[in-house]
Amino acid sequence: MAAFRVVACSNSYLLASRLAEKLGAPLIPVERRWFPDGELYLRIRGEPGRDAVVVQSLWPRPSEALLELLMVAGTLREKGVDRLVAVVPYMAYMRQDSEFNPGEVVSARRVATLLDAAGFDLIVTVDMHLHRFSSPAELFKTPVANLTAAPLLAREALMMGAENPVIVGPDEEAEQWARAAAEAVGTEYTVFEKHRISPDEVEVRPRDPGVVKGRDAVIVDDIISTGGTVARAARRLLEAGARRVYVAVTHALLVQGALAKIHSSGVASLYATDTVETPFSTVTVSGMLAEKLGG
């Protein structure tokens, strides 16, 4: 796939540069600034050729990032790109996947419609947050490859010195990532479950609390936003006898004081992938993206 050229949008320059290196492809940056009235100015600083991969995470500033991706995609088609692939390492707007209250916009469907209209030949993403949909095909008409970083996160824990680890999903939705992580390193996993102890009180605890005693627990999840779920899980694991608790996440959004919550819960280490660029993004997904693209 040496014919590919990698177009780096503003939220994913680091990941795009790593992907270009693995593909042996030229890197084309997108210049972004604002007009005085607040409108977005974009310029593709190079010739995209006939086959292009445009890389843009939809975090931070997800609405602005989405608009940038769509505008760049349209421009690439106008410039004669025949095969256009979008790498959207973090796909925002997927958590509003149902109309919970009358009149609510189901953003997952609307964003899928916008990306379908952009005319990509393929969309590649990582650990898309699918709760009420079993696969991206229920949302998108465009082919979507939804890769998982869970094995990478589990292997990183071993490299960081986790001993006799057990993988933990912080809630039942996270079981898919906990299972994949555990299989990658040949260990066990457990998942936190909710147990109602009164009409107004719910307790959460690991499905198999004894499995963590005396072992290093590695919490694996797709997203950390406010950090409440992970912090609560970490405290319960330490109470259950875990030796140390690591937190490994694909998308580290870390909003509304998440870091303070996590560190105060007794977590030994927090790390994430570069789907979202933060100081904790020590695990790169560029290798598996390049493999998917044929590099």
Residue 260 is which amino acid? Answer: A
Of the candidates 295, 292, 3, 13, the residue with the CA atom closest to the CA atom of residue 149: 292
**Confidence band (pLDDT; 50, 70, 90) for 209?**
confident
Q: Is the pLDDT of residue 193 over 80?
A: yes
What pLDDT score does 196 carry?
A: 61
pLDDT digits (tens, 9 = 90+) for 223-261: 999 999 999 999 999 999 999 999 999 999 999 999 999
Domains of the chain: which residue ranges?
Answer: 4-148+284-293, 150-274
State the pLDDT at residue 200. 61
Secondary structure of 173-234 as H, E, C letters = HHHHHHHHHHHHHCCCEEEEEEEEEECCEEEEEECCHHHHCCCEEEEEEEEECCCHHHHHHH
201 pLDDT more than 70: no
pLDDT tops 80 at residue 108? yes
Nearest to 254 by CA among 223, 287, 215: 223
**Per-residue pLDDT tens digits for 39-91:** 999 999 999 999 999 999 999 999 999 999 999 999 999 999 999 999 999 99
Instruction: Name the β-bridge partners of 144.
Output: 123
What pLDDT was estimated at residue 127?
A: 98
Q: What is the mean pLDDT of residues 19-28?
A: 97
pLDDT at 132: 85
Does 4-148+284-293 match 150-274 in CATH topology? yes
Look up the CATH number of domain 150-274. 3.40.50.2020
CATH of domain 4-148+284-293: 3.40.50.2020
* Cβ-contact 170, 192 below 8 angstroms: yes
Reduced to 3 states (helix: H, G, I; strand: E, B; else coil), residue 137 is: helix
Three-state SS sequence of 105-119: CCHHHHHHHHHHHCC
Beta-bridge partner residues of 218: 167, 246
Q: What is the C-alpha separation between 23 and 49, in angstroms, rounded?
A: 15
Measured CA to CA, the distance from residue 70 to residue 64 in angstroms comes to 10
Q: What is the pLDDT of residues 139-155, one digit of tens each?
A: 999 999 999 999 999 99
Please identify every residue annotated as catalytic.
194
pTM check: above 0.85: yes
Q: Select from 241, 213, 223, 214 the least CA-distant residue to 169.
A: 223
Nearest to 89 by CA among 295, 294, 229, 290: 290
pLDDT at 278: 96
